[in-house]
């Protein structure tokens, strides 16, 4: 892999490889952009096939974090760490303290957190060696209610955009996936008086839980979720669910959920939704509640302040819809324009000399 070429093309700042002989720790930290602040992004532990796969993954994920943080209005840049290994074999106190020491060596340019195969407990070990870690036990806690709260407000903004009102009693919803975030989202929609909520799931335990918890919610088979005649389709399970096959089935006028990487191909399927008049709430903007929540740990965590910020996803989504209309471009592209503009403006604003 031509790393420098790739870094230059996409504006990366730093790519750090690290290894610890005692614990077998092998990892890569990528810092994409720190214009707005320290690069924040979780540590993913994965049994990658080879080093190039791991490198490409950390590069892509770090860049995604830059846009996510910028669009969320946070003073954070984008970064990520990947660790190469089998989760059930490598994890230990020493392993994560080893990671903590490498995070510390970046001197605050990068802040880590939990991600796939790493937990708040692991971050507790990281914290023994560095302060540059969030998502710690006893602080901002489970990100899922925060993510679902932000998504709920993004759905409100989308309803206002499409129907001129966020009155849920007029609206119907199809939620795909009732895991951590889907469960909370269903609850928030019902609390807000949603006319009708359908859901789908593949996990029997989750199906049973939702049916017991919310008796008015109706289960549909996984393949039937796309074609339901509802106002909002909320993907809260997998990525790539908007693709050539599913777009044809969609009857919803809004796609807005918690899932990551909803569009199979960003440009192609973002444009197809736009052309079909289906309003798409960009995934990395609407699902930023968890990131906003954990960011507040860097300022001394205050739940009320964090949730006030999460509610602002409503305004972000509204701004992005305006950019989409003004530029006649699909909303995923509009979200990137919004994020890049914020980075560029803050960069230029700081160009004058101020003595501190």
Contact residues: ligand NAD, CB under 6 A: 143-144, 147, 176-182, 200-203, 206, 222, 236-239, 258-260, 287, 290
What residues form DSSP beta bridges with 235? Answer: 176
The CB-of-264 to ligand NAD minimum distance in angstroms stands at 13
80 carries an active-site annotation: yes
The Cα 324–Cα 328 span in angstroms is: 6
The CB-of-186 to ligand NAD minimum distance in angstroms stands at 11
User: Cβ closer to ligand NAD: 177 or 282?
Assistant: 177
User: Cβ closer to ligand NAD: 203 or 302?
Assistant: 203
The CB-of-78 to ligand NAD minimum distance in angstroms stands at 15
Per DSSP (E only), the strands in the chain are: 14-20, 25-33, 39-40, 43-46, 77-84, 110-111, 172-176, 196-200, 218-219, 232-235, 254-255, 279-280
Do strands 77-84 and 25-33 pair parallel, antiparallel, or not at all (unpaired)?
Answer: antiparallel
3-state secondary structure of 56: helix
User: Cβ closer to ligand NAD: 129 or 283?
Assistant: 283
Contact present, 254 and 233 (Cβ < 8 Å): yes
User: Cβ closer to ligand NAD: 129 or 297?
Assistant: 297
The residue sitting closest to ligand NAD, measured at its beta carbon, is 179
Contact present, 128 and 97 (Cβ < 8 Å): yes
The CB-of-200 to ligand NAD minimum distance in angstroms stands at 5
User: Cβ closer to ligand NAD: 129 or 183?
Assistant: 183
The Cα 321–Cα 184 span in angstroms is: 25
Torsion of CA 241, 115, 137, 147, to 10 degrees: -30
* Active-site entry in 3, 9, 68, 80: 80
Handedness of CA 122, 128, 132, 138 (dihedral sign): positive
Catalytic residue annotation: 80
């Amino acid at each position: 892999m031509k790393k420098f070429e790739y870094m230059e093309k996409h504006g990366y700042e730093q790519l750090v490889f690290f290894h610890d002989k005692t614990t077998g720790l092998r990892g890569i930290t990528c810092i994409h952009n720190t214009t707005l602040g320290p690069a924040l992004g979780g540590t993913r532990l994965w049994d990658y096939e080879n080093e190039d796969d791991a490198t490409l993954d950390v590069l892509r994920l770090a860049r995604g974090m830059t846009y996510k943080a910028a669009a969320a209005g946070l003073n954070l840049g984008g970064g990520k760490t990947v660790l190469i290994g089998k989760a059930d074999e490598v994890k230990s106190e020493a392993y994560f303290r080893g990671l903590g020491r490498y995070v510390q060596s970046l001197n605050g340019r990068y802040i880590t957190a939990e991600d796939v195969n790493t937990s708040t407990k692991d971050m507790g070990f990281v914290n023994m060696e560095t302060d540059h870690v969030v998502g710690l036990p006893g602080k901002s806690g489970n990100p899922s209610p925060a993510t679902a709260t932000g998504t709920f407000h993004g759905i409100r903004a989308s309803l206002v955009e499409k129907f001129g009102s966020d009155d849920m009693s007029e609206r119907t919803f199809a939620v795909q996936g009732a895991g951590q975030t889907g469960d909370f989202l269903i609850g928030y929609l019902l609390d807000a008086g949603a006319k009708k909520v359908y859901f789908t799931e593949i996990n029997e335990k989750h199906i049973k839980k939702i049916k017991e918890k919310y008796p008015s919610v109706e289960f549909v088979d996984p393949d039937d979720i796309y074609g339901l005649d509802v106002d909002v389709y909320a993907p809260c399970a997998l990525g790539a669910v908007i693709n050539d096959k599913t777009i044809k089935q969609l009857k919803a006028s809004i796609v807005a959920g918690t899932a990551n990487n909803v569009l199979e191909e960003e440009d192609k399927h973002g444009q197809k939704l736009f052309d079909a008049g289906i309003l798409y709430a960009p995934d990395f903007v609407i699902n930023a509640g968890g990131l906003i929540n954990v960011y507040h740990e860097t300022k001394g965590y205050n739940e009320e302040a964090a949730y006030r910020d999460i509610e602002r996803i409503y305004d972000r989504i509204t701004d992005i819809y305006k950019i989409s209309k003004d530029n006649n471009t699909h909303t995923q592209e509009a979200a990137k324009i919004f994020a890049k503009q914020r980075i560029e403006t803050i960069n230029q604003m700081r160009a004058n000399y101020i003595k501190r």
